Amino acid sequence: MYIDSHCHINFPELAARMPAILGKMEENKVTHALCVSCDLPTFPDILQIAEQYPHIYASVGVHPDYEDTPEPTVDDLIRLANSPRIVAIGETGLDYYRLEGDLEWQRERFRTHIRASRATGKPLIIHTRAASEDTIRIMREEGAGTDAGGAAGVMHCFTESLEVARAAMEMGFYISFSGIVTFKSARDLQAVAREVPLEYMLIETDSPYLAPVPFRGKMNEPGLVRHVAEYIATLKNVPLEQVAQQTTENFFRLFKIAH
Ligand SMILES: [Zn+2]
Ligand SMILES: [Zn+2]
C-alpha cells in the first residue's frame, strides 16, 4: 500500500472528478491521502472532504505564494486545527522563486504557522523554494523541531540540497519526494533521494501538479504516487515493498494516526 502525503484534491479540476480519483487510488493500492490547505476561504471544502472520506486527512494553513488572501493568526490556526481530521499545520514556508520584493510578510506568516504547530502539537508541512537558508534559520529560531520541543513535520516536494535535507532531518523533519524526482533533468535531486534514509522519507503527488514519469505534463492525482515509490525503489536498489511499507509507517507516525 501507498500513501499520498500531499495533494490538493479540493482544487476544482480534481474535486469535480472525485469518484474517478478515489477509484484510481484503489486501483493503485493508494490507501490514504492528505489534502493540504492553501488558504482560509477554501478550508471548509477541505474539512468537508476529510469528514466525508475516512481515508482522506486534511491540514490547515496558508500557502506562502498566496499574497492577496486573509492572513491567519496563531489563534485562527489553533481553532481551525481543532478536529481529529486535521492532522497538520500548513502548507507554510518560504518561496522566493515565485514572488519578489519585500517578503517579510511571508516570513511572518511562516512564524505564525510554526507557533500554531507548537501550540497544537500538530506537525508542519513546509514548502521551501529558493529560500532554504531563511527557511532553516526560521525553523530553528521558532523551535520547529522535535529537539526544540516542537512537533516537527515534513519538507514537502523537496528539491533542495542534501545539506538542507540533513539540517531538516536533524530537527526531526521528514523529507517528501514528489514526481519531480522521476524527471530526467532531476539528477541532483535523485542523488539527494539516494542519500536520504527511507526512515525519513515520505512520498507525495502535490497533485494536480507535477505528474510523475510516464504521465509528465498530464493532470496529476493521488493514485499516481505509486510511480514515485517505484522510481525511488529503483534509485535506491531496494524492493518496492520496502519503500511502500516504510513510507506508509512514516506517514502514520508523523501525523499520529492510529491504524
Ligand atoms: Zn508546496
Ligand atoms: Zn502543495
pLDDT 10s digits, 215-238: 888 999 999 999 999 999 999 999
CA–CA gap between residue 10 and residue 48 (Å, rounded): 10
219 alpha carbon – ligand 2 mean position (Å): 14
Closest ligand, as measured to the CA of 126: 1
99 alpha carbon – ligand 1 mean position (Å): 14
Using a cut of 0.75, tell me whether the model's pTM lies above it.
yes
Please list all protein residues whose beta carbon sits less than 5 angstroms from ligand 2, which is an ion: 206
pLDDT at 259: 81
CA–CA gap between residue 207 and residue 175 (Å, rounded): 17
CA angle 100, 105, 107 (to 5 degrees): 90
CB 31 within 8 A of CB 2: yes
β-pairing, 86-95 vs 153-155, is: unpaired
46 alpha carbon – ligand 2 mean position (Å): 13
- All three cell numbers of 220, joined, read 496529476
157 alpha carbon – ligand 1 mean position (Å): 6
pLDDT at 118: 98
CA–CA gap between residue 65 and residue 76 (Å, rounded): 19
pLDDT at 101: 87
Closest ligand, as measured to the CA of 205: 2
